[in-house]
A = this chain, B = another copy of it.
């Protein structure tokens, strides 16, 4: 279902209705099929539908590729971006899109987990005990905004369905034909599986997004993935919570007791494994005492050999031999370099006199995504203890590449994105970032089922507040 069939508000209202309908639909207790098995088999039907509609998807994808090729020829689109549109040429890409759907289906359900249970009050002669359960449940309607890569439609739709949410998707305009076809195949498969087709919808225009960002009556959470500008604009305009990250300014700090080999290999990996990623290293701080030793020149040489341009403060610049600096890849840093997410083979370098100075630089300049300490691996290590307690970024690593900040690598199954927010979910966000909890309270059966009133606790009835086994409440 696409927004061409109606206004953005209609899409939002349909999404809300589909969410509520599916919650009601899947809430009837039944021994034959749990809500999760209905959702998982809907995902498998979606996989089958995608497989059997491969030709139709390829046709839409060819349309998008054709338009993109023309834009590349006109210099209006990068060829890198155009090639990310292509679902079929790169070996394994289509297969991994399909595998993603069944992988999500096979994950444990994030719903109906009892996070804790508590007896609020013991039974009395006149009435039963009162018990409270904190149970995970879906968030509701998600609005997911991303750029280019059409496979994200399938990825996010799978996560939303598995977690019991509805999703409105908006991809990049370059992938609009592919996204529309994928979404309509998913909607049809949902309907065939007995779930509301409105659970997954797409919208196509920026105007739609502008309208949707004000509809907090229908939409519970916005998840943007894309450029800084896109995310910042959404954070400014949205009336509902936004989960995502604008910047990935990741900082490493090499303490005086760092080990050379481990540090060199890990720093080079952090910077060069995928420089365009949000978890690539952008600034490296080095303890003063290492700057005039072979440590820094060895590290600098390894980075230069890997093709990295170094933007250095005076101390780290002057410490390098002319054989290293003469290639033109070592330049003086300006202040702005320490606030720049290069997303390229460029690294800002600065010397600091102490751990405290490094903490202070990180606190001021880091975007709170991923910060890494390089230090001795041996215990006790008060530097590492202080660094990991003191820095409150989403990911705080010790002697580990910043590139590990990733949902797959964290073993979360798959991710909807990486959040640098301070609430709800942070770092790589998997299925459990798409749920929230509700409190269920019940009066336990009793010979005399008297009323359960709050007023009597002003008098003689006492609070118990004792822990219970976290079992799902039975009725």
Q: Select one of B382, B387, B398 contacting A443, CB under 8 A.
A: B398
Q: Are B442 and A392 in contact (CB under 8 A)?
A: no
Residues A445 and B378 in contact in the complex (CB < 8 Å), given A132-B410, A262-B450, A392-B137: yes
Q: Does A76 have its Cβ within 8 Å of any Cβ on chain B?
A: no
Q: Are A261 and B475 in contact (CB under 8 A)?
A: no
CA–CA, A384 to B390, complex, Å? 47
CA–CA, A120 to B441, complex, Å? 38
Tell me the number of copies of this protein. Answer: 2
CA–CA, A401 to B454, complex, Å? 6
Q: Does A411 have its Cβ within 8 Å of any Cβ on chain B?
A: yes
Q: Are A27 and B140 in contact (CB under 8 A)?
A: no
Q: Select one of B221, B391, B449 contacting A262, CB under 8 A.
A: B449
Residues A411 and B465 in contact in the complex (CB < 8 Å), given A29-B382, A392-B137: yes
Collect the chain B residues with CB atoms within 8 Å of residue A140's CB: 392, 422
Q: Are B24 and A356 in contact (CB under 8 A)?
A: yes
Collect the chain B residues with CB atoms within 8 Å of residue A208's CB: none
Interface size class of A (residues with CB under 8 A): 35 or more
Collect the chain B residues with CB atoms within 8 Å of residue A453's CB: 265-266, 268-269, 273, 401, 403
Q: Does A377 have its Cβ within 8 Å of any Cβ on chain B?
A: yes
Collect the chain B residues with CB atoms within 8 Å of residue A450's CB: 261-262, 265
Q: Are B422 and A139 in contact (CB under 8 A)?
A: yes
Q: Does A150 have its Cβ within 8 Å of any Cβ on chain B?
A: no
CA–CA, A328 to B363, complex, Å? 65
Q: What are 23 A-B pairs with beta-carbon distances under 8 A?
A: A120-B410, A127-B262, A130-B404, A221-B422, A261-B450, A261-B451, A263-B451, A265-B450, A266-B452, A269-B453, A378-B445, A379-B445, A379-B475, A380-B475, A391-B438, A396-B439, A398-B442, A399-B452, A401-B452, A404-B441, A404-B454, A422-B436, A426-B437
